[in-house]
Amino acid sequence: MHPILPPFPTTRLRRMRRTPALRDLAQEHRLSVKDLIWPIFITDVPGADVEISSMPGVVRRRLDGALRAAEEAAALGIPAICLFPYTDPAVKTEACEMAWNPENITNKVIRAIKAEVPDLAIMTDIALDPYNANGHDGLVRDGVILNDETVDCLVRMALAQAEAGADILGPSDMMDGRIGAMRAALEAAGHRDVTILSYAAKYASAFYGPFRDAVGASGALKGDKKTYQMNPGNSDEAIRLVARDLAEGADMVMVKPGMPYLDICRRVKDSFGVPTFAYQVSGEYAMLMAAVRNGWLDGEKVMLESLMAFRRAGCDGVLTYFAPEAARLLNQG
Ligand code: PBG
């Protein structure tokens, strides 16, 4: 679209920026509390419910703390929270059986929140890393991440979470074929209306560092995730991955990380027109918070500006650790 632009002084683009009212009228994109998904860290490990040092202001929560967060989200009008478990190193095995145990912390928290705050949407994470002695998202044999064997585990994990009452399943593992396998298993088990938000374009990024501290995967992880997560040098591949996941039954897709990959958000939205989300990941949060804590950036302003960037790039919503703070500001108007 190329609007007709008569030459100066007929055109003075500053006219529409002169007052707050005119700026409001001309604003193209808006950020609402309804665009936010709040990721929270949960744990059943005694003493682990502390602040994460690389993520100031973010804490791990026991079941009662998770319930309070759910109530807070609902009170603020945030539509969904997303659960990430920190697990006891003692339960991590090479076979990752705890990942699909109905009594693992994620499934317990899902049931508890659904009983108390039923209207809040609960999103989960599907990947083996919190339960894997190797710290990887997939099963490892002789240093190789196994695809098809991992997909079988992920399907079990998905079914256990759906059974517990999850509304949105979030496969973040980047194995091939997982969306189709999960969708078929959900249909067969009668979970026809459980949605899948696929981490379709997930890059092998150094911006996940603080998250790995939060879920306790940093110590366990051997090597890197480059054989399954995307090469940051690729863009066309993101389109192929999104097309593939949609064809296999994903309802929504995600680009991750967020701010360094806004070009991918835009391409995905323009190419497919499906519900598109970005994950403003732990490293992005840590980066902004470090500057804010030093007094170098205005926290409220950079938070809202960074979130608006996702809307402008075509995202329908954002997973962000800023969700409750941003919601408080947005609710003030
Ligand atoms: C793991 C997972 C990761 C994140 C979400 N799910 C880390 C990784 O892939 O190593 C990162 C989120 C963040 O950094 O905030 N499957």
Q: What is the mean pLDDT of residues 23-31?
A: 98
**Of residues 311, 326, 333, the one with CA closest to residue 29:** 311
H/E element, 184: helix 178-188
Q: What pLDDT score does 47 carry? A: 94
Would you say residue 262 lies in a domain? yes
**pTM (whole model) above 0.95:** yes
Angle at 15 between CA 14 and CA 18, to 5 degrees: 85
Would you say residue 19 lies in a domain? no
Q: What CATH code is carried by the domain that includes residue 223? A: 3.20.20.70
Ligand 1 pocket mutation, candidates 134, 208, 281, 318, criterion most atoms within 8 A of CB: 208
Q: What is the mean pLDDT of residues 215-238?
A: 92
Measured distance CA(302)–CA(308) in Å, rounded: 10
Would you say residue 69 lies in a domain? yes
**Does 256 qualify as catalytic in the annotation?**
yes
Q: What pLDDT score does 119 carry? A: 98
Per-residue pLDDT of 288-326, as tens digits, reads 999 999 999 999 999 999 999 999 999 999 999 999 999
Q: Is the pLDDT of residue 219 over 80?
A: no
Measured distance CA(299)–CA(69) in Å, rounded: 21
The secondary structure of residue 48, as a DSSP letter, is -
Q: What pLDDT score does 171 carry? A: 98
The proportion of the chain whose per-residue pLDDT surpasses 70, expressed as a percent, equals 100
Q: Which residues are CB-neighbours of 221 under 8 A, at least 6 positions away?
A: 129, 134, 135, 136, 212
Would you say residue 16 lies in a domain? no
Would you say residue 9 lies in a domain? no
Would you say residue 21 lies in a domain? no
Would you say residue 223 lies in a domain? yes
Which range marks the domain in which residue 48 is found?
31-331
For 157-194, where are the E strands, in sequence order?
168-169
Domain count, the chain: 1
Whether the ω angle into residue 257 lies within 30 degrees of 0, i.e. cis, is yes
DSSP β-bridge partners for residue 60 = 41
Measured in Å, residue 110 CA sits from the centre of ligand 1 at 19
**Does 34 qualify as catalytic in the annotation?**
no
The proportion of the chain whose per-residue pLDDT surpasses 90, expressed as a percent, equals 95
Would you say residue 231 lies in a domain? yes
Out of 92, 108, 225, 256, pick the active-site residue.
Answer: 256
Q: What is the mean pLDDT of residues 104-117?
A: 98
Q: Are 115 and 53 in contact (CB under 8 A)?
A: no
